């Protein structure tokens, strides 16, 4: 097993009297996907912000490529190759795809006061890079606002990869998406992994995490509840742990009853359940 590219050990973060994170340790290796699972309020957002350089941890060690680091801004982390793609803040809707793609890191040509944004290069590169990720855009000039949610996430991922991300932190990239769209994003996560990038995939949906993840870190109430490799844990157990078992069992009994009752939605429910299982099996192979 290779060394982790990014690792935090016993990280704690306090906001006044609130303990947002307590003794959290996790890591990701190059070419692997670490899934960070947790329900709302589990501390996922705080952990992302620590990892991406927005917050400094109050306790604990942050290691990147073997050496200890400390960031004073997200820019510092980005410069080292730790890129974060936020769920809703990834793109600027009114700007064209190519302007978005290079925002903040514009390629320039020319000299002195005549240094200018290399527009042709930007347009060409945007098209090529998205093509490499399997995203076939119609026209790089179209505003990002005309793209679907999944496409937007994908463009943001492609951008991070192009700018040399070695670690990609994805904050709930599939949360607001439909099934098909989520599938598209999951495919890009696999693409990024195959290109040797360490991916930290934050989600509250174990069905999205399981097919792509190599190991799973479960966060609950600001602490690590468990850290499992894929061999150690089947999907069902992951789902149970995520939601705190009992609640979910009640729910699933209710669903089963509804299905047995043969109501109008019964067939559909069964299909959904089968679909999830099939997805998990199919992608896990």
Q: How far is the CB of 8 from other proteins (least distance, A)?
A: 21
3 state DSSP class of 152: helix
Looking at residue 170, what DSSP letter applies? Answer: E
Residue 211 CA to residue 182 CA, distance in Å, equals 12
| Residue 173 interacting with other proteins (CB under 8 A) | no
Q: How far apart are CA 176 and CA 92, in angstroms?
A: 17
104 vs 264, which CB is nearer to other proteins? Answer: 104
**3-state secondary structure (DSSP) of residue 23:** strand
Residue with structure tokens 């959290």? 24
Burial 68-97 (b: 16+ CB within 10 A, else e): eeebeeeeebbebbbbbbbbeebbeeeebb
Binding mask 175-204 for other proteins (x = CB under 8 A): ---x-xx--x--x---x-------------
Q: Is 164 in the site for other proteins (CB under 8 A)?
A: no
Please state the closest distance from residue 59 (CB atom) to other proteins, in A: 26
Single out the segment in contact with other proteins by CB under 8 A; choices: 29-37, 84-92, 202-210, 229-237.
84-92
Angle at 207 between CA 202 and CA 260, to 5 degrees: 145
Size of the site for other proteins (CB under 8 A): 50
Interface positions, 106-145, toward other proteins (CB under 8 A): 106, 108, 115-117, 119, 127, 130-132, 134-139, 142-143, 145
1 makes contact with other proteins (CB under 8 A): no
Residue partners of 181: CB distance under 8 A and separation at least 6: 148, 149, 150, 174
Does 89 help bind other proteins (rule: CB under 8 A)?
yes
Q: Are 156 and 167 in contact (CB under 8 A)?
A: no
Minimum distance of other proteins from residue 101's CB (angstroms):
10
Q: Which residues pair with 224 in a beta bridge?
A: 219
Closest to other proteins by CB, 144 vs 233, is 144
With contact defined as beta carbons under 8 Å apart, do 11 and 23 qualify? Answer: yes
Tell me the window of 1-9, 96-104, 254-262, 264-272 that interacts with other proteins (CB under 8 A).
96-104
For other proteins, the closer CB: 78 or 235: 78
Largest CA distance in the chain: 75
Question: Closest CB to other proteins among 152 and 220?
Answer: 152
Question: Judged by CB, which is closer to other proteins: 30, or 77?
Answer: 77
- Is-contact 120 59, C-beta < 8 A? no
In the bound complex, what is the minimum distance in angstroms from residue 33's beta carbon to other proteins? Answer: 17
Taking CB under 8 A as the rule, does residue 244 contact other proteins?
Answer: no
d(CA 1, CA 58): 30
Q: Kindly tell me which residue out of 62, 102, 162, 216 binds other proteins, with binding defined by CB under 8 A.
A: 102
Q: Which residues bind other proteins (CB under 8 A)?
A: 74-75, 78, 84, 86, 89-95, 99-100, 102-106, 108, 115-117, 119, 127, 130-132, 134-139, 142-143, 145-151, 154, 178, 180-181, 184, 187, 191
């Amino acid at each position: 097993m290779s060394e982790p590219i990014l690792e935090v050990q016993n990280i704690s973060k306090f906001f006044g009297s609130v303990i947002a994170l307590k003794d959290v340790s996790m890591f990701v290796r190059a070419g692997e996907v670490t899934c960070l699972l947790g329900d709302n309020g589990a501390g996922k957002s705080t952990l992302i912000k620590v990892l991406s350089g927005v917050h400094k941890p109050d306790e604990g060690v942050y290691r990147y490529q073997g050496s200890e680091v400390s960031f004073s801004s997200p820019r510092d982390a980005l410069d080292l190759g730790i890129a974060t793609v936020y769920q809703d803040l990834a793109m600027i809707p009114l700007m064209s795809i190519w302007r978005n793609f290079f925002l903040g890191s514009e390629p320039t040509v020319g000299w002195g006061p005549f240094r200018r944004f290399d527009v042709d290069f930007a347009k060409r590169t945007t098209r090529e890079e998205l093509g490499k990720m399997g995203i076939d855009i119609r026209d790089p000039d179209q505003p990002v606002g005309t793209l679907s949610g999944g496409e937007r996430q994908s463009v943001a991922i492609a951008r991070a990869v192009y700018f040399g991300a070695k670690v990609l932190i994805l904050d709930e990239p599939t949360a607001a998406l439909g099934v098909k769209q989520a599938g598209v994003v999951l495919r890009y996560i696999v693409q990024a992994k195959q290109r040797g990038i360490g991916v930290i995939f934050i989600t509250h949906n174990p069905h999205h995490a399981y097919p792509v993840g190599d190991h799973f870190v479960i966060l609950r109430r600001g602490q690590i509840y468990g850290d499992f490799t894929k061999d150690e844990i089947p999907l069902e157990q992951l789902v149970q742990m995520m939601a705190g078992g009992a609640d979910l069992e009640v729910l699933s009994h209710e669903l089963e009853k509804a299905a047995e009752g043969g109501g109008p939605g019964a067939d559909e429910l069964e299909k959904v359940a089968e679909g999830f299982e099939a997805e998990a099996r199919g992608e896990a192979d």
